[in-house]
A and B are shown apart, each in its own frame.
Chain A
Amino acid sequence: MDSVAVHSNVAENDQNMWEGGKEPFKASYGKLMMWYFLVSDAFTFAGFLIAYGALKFSVPTWPLPDFVFSSLPGGIHHAPLIFVTIMTFVLIASSVTMVRAVQEGHRENKNGVVFWMGMTILGGAAFLGCQAWEWTTLIGGENMTVTTNPFGTHLVDGVYLDDEHGHPYEAAVQPESFHAGQTYLIHKDHESHEWIQRRYKSEGGQVGVQEFGPKAFGALFFFITGFHGFHVFSGVVFLLIIMINAASGLYAARKNGYEMVEKIGLYWHFVDLVWVFVFLAYYLL
């Protein structure tokens, strides 16, 4: 009985103490645990990205990102990396609005917190929308799946023997040529839904057909960007809950400078941080 009473007294009287001791690193329990959760999450993402790197290093060719990611909404093609750059901007902007929300929290300005959290949620939702469009293009338009990667890469220089519809070139037509390291997309026939693997003749005189690209490309892309997208989605949900709580005056009553906003802020910046490396690994290198 006595010890319980003392215990609750401590907790009530001294907000700076965890149960029975001083605050480690002068950080609150919640904030410190958020940091260590982020450490563990960083290792999870690092595991994915390192697996990606190891598999990329283990095959002779890898699809070129500036060929694979070159579509824009509205039927625009050959715009390498533009769309993903816009996505990156959106996420960075939402990170900046989150910083503003945390600052307004420190000032105990409820309306400011709610407004800037709302902007952050919009940014997160916009990013998710962009990702949905990117996935739709890859899956629906370009037939990439977890197990099929139609993005192959030439190992040699040569000329095609078949045109884009898989029919042999007519004698009068100048055949399309290609060089080693060039990435191509294997299309599906619109009517028969069969793959059109064009035949080619290498400079050495050997005849071959377009091969599919490394299988791991699709699986890694969907798992890594999907896992990141899932983090963004959970972040948006948590931001929404915390924004509603903030608007209801729950955190104002705690008088701790909207610490909950600060914690979700840490998480949100981490999501942005992970994107820096996903962007580097998947789209730049």
Chain B
Amino acid sequence: MEHNDINHAKKVVFKGLILLAIITVLEVLIALFGNGHLVEGVHLSKWIMYPMMIGLSLYKAYFIIYEFMHMRYELQGLRYSVLLPMLLLVWAVIAFFNEGSHWKHNRSVINQKNQIGIEQMAAPVEQPAHQSEEVQPPSEH
């Protein structure tokens, strides 16, 4: 009986190894294919690539926690007390990534304003000269 148990356990472990290896290869293939390394000129949209890679990684994480770390066999209370705090990270990811893209936006606004400032600094030199040409010629000639 015990002998069968260990054989079964070994099989599960071997399957886990194959599964994780296949998922990793799949992720890398998606990255290489999507960035045009496998087929010349063929690219995938980030909106297709990223959700696939994130989904596969989350599945790997689930498999490691539930099978390798035996979370599946723990009591529900332990599961929740470990896993629920991770939900805070969902907020953190959304909040900070949003903030990050806002910095980028701010920077480009500042760059634009600097550009306008440079043009305005250049303009006063040009404009009076332009005006004086229009207004003053009668008096000069």
Contact = CB atoms under 8 A, between A and B. Distances in A.
Given A46-B92, A81-B28, A92 B21 contact: yes
B75 interface: yes
Contacts of A55: 100
A95 B28 CA distance: 20
A85 B25 CA distance: 8
A100 B10 contact: yes
Contacts of A284: 27-28, 30-31, 53, 57
A257 interface: no
B13 A103 contact: yes
Interface string A261-285: 0000110011011001101100111
Nearest to B93: A50
B125 interface: no
A32 interface: yes
A273 B20 CA distance: 11
Interface centre among A32, A81, A92, by most chain B C-beta atoms within 10 angstroms, is: A92
Interface string B78-103: 10011001100100110011011101
A103 B9 contact: yes
B6 interface: yes
Interface in A23-40: 24-27, 32, 35-36, 38-39
Contacts of B35: 64, 66, 80
A85 B24 contact: yes
Given A85-B25, A89-B24, A54 B75 contact: no
Given A89-B24, A269-B64, A280 B57 contact: yes
8 contacts: A46-B89, A54-B96, A57-B103, A58-B100, A58-B104, A96-B14, A273-B61, A273-B64
A278 to B, nearest CB: 10
A168 interface: no
Contacts of A88: 24
Nearest to B107: A58
By DSSP majority rule, is chain A's interface helix, strand, loop, or mixed?
A: helix
Contacts of A57: 97, 100-101, 103-104
A24 B80 CA distance: 13
B64 A66 contact: no
A194 B116 CA distance: 35
B37 A27 contact: no
Contact of A285 (B50, B78, B82): B50
Given A35-B82, A39-B82, A46-B92, A96 B16 contact: yes
B17 interface: yes
A26 B69 CA distance: 16
Contacts of B10: 100, 103
A23 to B, nearest CB: 10
Interface string B13-57: 110110011001101101110010100000000000010011001
Contacts of A7: none
Nearest to A85: B28
B140 interface: no
Contacts of B68: 95-96, 98-99, 269, 272
